[in-house]
Every structure is written in C-alpha cells, then in structure tokens.
Amino acid sequence: MDQMDKRVVLITGAGIGIGRAAALAFGEMGDHVVVTDVLEDEGNSVVAEIEAAGGSAEFQPLNVRSTEAANALVEGLNTRFGGIDVIVANAGIALRVPMSEMTDEKWHETIDVDLYGMMRVIRPALPAMKEGASIICLSSIMGSHYGWDEHVHYSTAKSGAIGLIRALAVEYAAKGIRVNGVAPGYIRTAQLLNPGHSLGPDAADIASPYIPMKRLGEPAEIANVIKFLASSDASYLTGQVVTVDGGLTPGRY
C-alpha cells in the first residue's frame, strides 16, 4: 500500500490520552496519521511509536485556537493528499473554575479550544473531503447527560459539540460525509488523574463504585469506537453521539 492508497487521518490533541490511543489505532490499521498537538515532544513520540510498529505518521504542531494555523495545516494536507479522509476532533481542556470566579477570559479559553477548535479544523477540510469521509468529535457525558460543578464552561462546550455534530451531519449527509461523536465517561487519562482539574490520582476509587462495570475506561476503548465510526461498517450511521461509559449513565445509583 503506497501513500496514496492510505486514508489520511487528522487527529487533534493526539499527543496524550484518547487522541494518542486513536492515533495508535489508526496507525495499526495502515492509515497515514497526522498527529497534531501543542505538546510537541508527546506528539513526536506518538509518531515514533506508530513508525516503529511499521505504520505511517507525521507530527504537525497545532494550537486549535489559531484559525490561521488550522487553515494552513489543512490546506497543506489538501494539497499533498487531495483531501482528508478522517478527522478526529479531540483537542480539549477541562479547567476547574467555580462560576463565581469565572472570568470572560477563562470562559472563552475553554469554549475556544473545546468547541471552536473543532470548527477551525473541520471548516477548511470540508471542501476537499470526498464521499465516504468521516468526522468524529469528542464530547463527554458531562455534555450529553450530566452537569459538572466548577466546570460549567466545559459542559457548555461539550454540549455545543453535540449540536455541531447533529447539524453538520445533516448538512453533509447528501455529500456522503458522515459526522458522529463519542461521549466518554470516566476514562483513565492525565486529565482525569489531575487533582487540580478533575478527580485526581484516586479517580478509580472515587468513580468505580458508581460505574456498573466497576472500573474506569481505558483510552484504547474509546479509540476502538472512534475507529468503528470512521469505518465503512458505520456507513449508515451519522449525526449520532455514542456514549462509552461502562454503563454509568443508564445505571447511575
């Protein structure tokens, strides 16, 4: 399979966590993975891991807050490859800020990364995307089902992502471009284990009693769903947000 026969998969926030797991999963499938992140060392490490396993990847630094940078990156990929086949809009932040202490700047930062960041990468890619292309946006159970105290800006952004998914899916369905999302529950990531912004190092002990499967999810378990949504096996599936949470939302008690 030469370069032109591979799908081109663009992943934002691919240096760590779910983005990294998705990059490794697509790399293993033989796709050409464009790893993007503000974390350059981590991004290059993911590329090295994919290549060491015989896969194809490249690292492109990207801050999704920059329209100029996103446009330039996507334009370059469109020129080189004739279009992007899969976009995984994953880059996100979750900063703990009580609403009484919320500033405009903190609010805008989270919405800018977590919601506008998706649009900035998707928008310039759409004109060159061909029938069969797929877009997957990462939401959260904190956007689809629950509120999250001291993270109102995050829940707002992740709820907004669901509106983006549904509306864009309808707009592009006739062109054969599918748009779906994933709403992860408690997944073992650096974000979840950060005591300043989420549950902290005791996350498994705190959350597991409430999860019917009695454990945290792993990033690879989200990546497997993303991989399915991007595949032809999901050819009639668009405008949907798949909740992957170990039974938490139907079984909360």
Q: What is the pLDDT along the chain (253 residues), one digit of tens a residue?
A: 455 579 999 999 999 999 999 999 999 999 999 999 999 999 999 999 999 999 999 999 999 999 999 999 999 999 999 999 999 999 999 999 999 999 999 999 999 999 999 999 999 999 999 999 999 999 999 999 999 999 999 999 999 999 999 999 999 999 999 999 999 999 999 888 888 888 888 888 999 999 999 999 999 999 999 999 999 999 999 999 999 999 999 997 5
Please state the φ and ψ torsions of residue 14, each to the nearest 5 degrees: -90, 5
Which range of residues forms the domain containing residue 235? 3-251
Q: What is the reported pTM?
A: 0.96
| Nearest of 173, 169, 170, 148 to residue 158 by alpha carbon | 148
CATH label of the domain that carries residue 125: 3.40.50.720
Cβ pair 148, 142 in contact under 8 A: yes
Q: Please list, in sequence order, all residues whose beta carbon lies within 8 angstroms of the beta carbon of residue 30, skipping any fewer than 6 positions away.
A: 1, 6, 55, 56
Q: What angle do CA 229, 230, 235 make, to 5 degrees?
A: 70
**Spatial separation of the C-alpha atoms in residues 105 and 89, rounded to whole Å:** 23
**Spatial separation of the C-alpha atoms in residues 7 and 33, rounded to whole Å:** 8
The reported pLDDT for the residue numbered 3 is: 54
Total domains in the chain come to 1
| Nearest of 58, 31, 90, 50 to residue 226 by alpha carbon | 90
The reported pLDDT for the residue numbered 18 is: 98
Q: What angle do CA 12, 15, 20 make, to 5 degrees?
A: 85
> Which residues are the active-site residues?
154
Which tokens hold the place of 69? 């940078």
Please state the φ and ψ torsions of residue 168, each to the nearest 5 degrees: -70, -35
- The H-or-E segment that residue 206 falls in is helix 203-207
Q: How many CB atoms lie within 10 A of CB 29?
A: 15
Cβ burial, residue 243 (10 Å; 0-12/13-18/19+): buried
Cβ burial, residue 89 (10 Å; 0-12/13-18/19+): buried
Strand, helix or coil for residue 33: strand
CA 35 to the chain's CA centroid: 12
